[in-house]
Amino acid sequence: MPLIYLIRHGEAAASWDQDADPGLSELGMKQARQVVGEMASRLSAPLPILSSPMRRCRETAEPLAGLWKTDIRIEPRVIEVPSPVKDLKERHLWLRRILQLDWPSADETAPDLVGWRARMLESLCELRQDTIVFTHFIAINAMVSHARNDVRVTNFMPDNCSVTLLALEEGRLSVMETGREMETRVN
């Protein structure tokens, strides 16, 4: 039964209405270093590390990969929720709207959100060993809501660098623990 550690990226240097792919802020870099200690205390040996291709996730994964002297495998299917809106100000408003919806309603606001969610689920169900995945707020919520059979887009509020633990058994995800709840804003 593989365990999957979903880690939300550290605080981004800019929000959705400012930058399409920001790196980490100074606080985000500190959070990334802190999650190294948390994972080292939880695990007795290094695990494979997957990351969204977005900068904030890759930069959050780098300190742990450095400690373990391992590579980060970029997994495009765990990327941030795809927005149909290119204008950054409008994209931010779109994101705020979908956070309040259920998955079928959210899918109506953008092409293929349910497909995005299904591809992410597929990527996790392919895992054959315990793995760490650096990903995003809505991506984590998508997997938790699927595992709980809950249609809400926002199932809980994972904080930056919080660790949510899922188990994969016979092709089904279950929630072992949700990560620390949000003290910072979604970015």
Q: What is the C-alpha separation between 34 and 64, in angstroms, rounded?
A: 10
Q: What is the pLDDT of residue 52?
A: 98
Tokens 């660790």 belong to residue: 163
Each residue of 2-51: pLDDT tens digit? 999 999 999 999 988 888 899 999 999 999 999 999 999 999 999 999 99
Query: CA 43 → CA 36, 49, 67, 141, 159, distances in Å?
Result: 11, 13, 13, 24, 21
DSSP string, 120-168: HHHHHHT--S-EEEEE-HHHHHHHHHHHTT--BS-S--BPTT-EEEEEE
- Residue 8 to residue 86: CA distance in whole angstroms: 23
Identify the CATH number of the domain defined by range 3-177: 3.40.50.1240
Residue 18, token pair as written in the block: 């400012």
3-state secondary structure of 79: coil
* 3-class DSSP assignment, residue 36: helix
Mean pLDDT of the chain: 93
Structure tokens at 41: 């205390």
- In order along its 187 residues, the chain shows pLDDT tens digits of 899 999 999 999 998 888 889 999 999 999 999 999 999 999 999 999 999 999 999 999 999 999 999 999 999 999 999 988 889 889 889 988 999 999 888 878 777 888 999 999 999 999 999 999 999 999 999 999 999 999 999 999 999 999 999 999 998 999 999 999 986 555 5
Q: How many CB atoms lie within 10 A of CB 150?
A: 15
Point out which residues pair with 9 in neighbouring strands.
Answer: none
Q: What is the pLDDT of residue 184?
A: 53
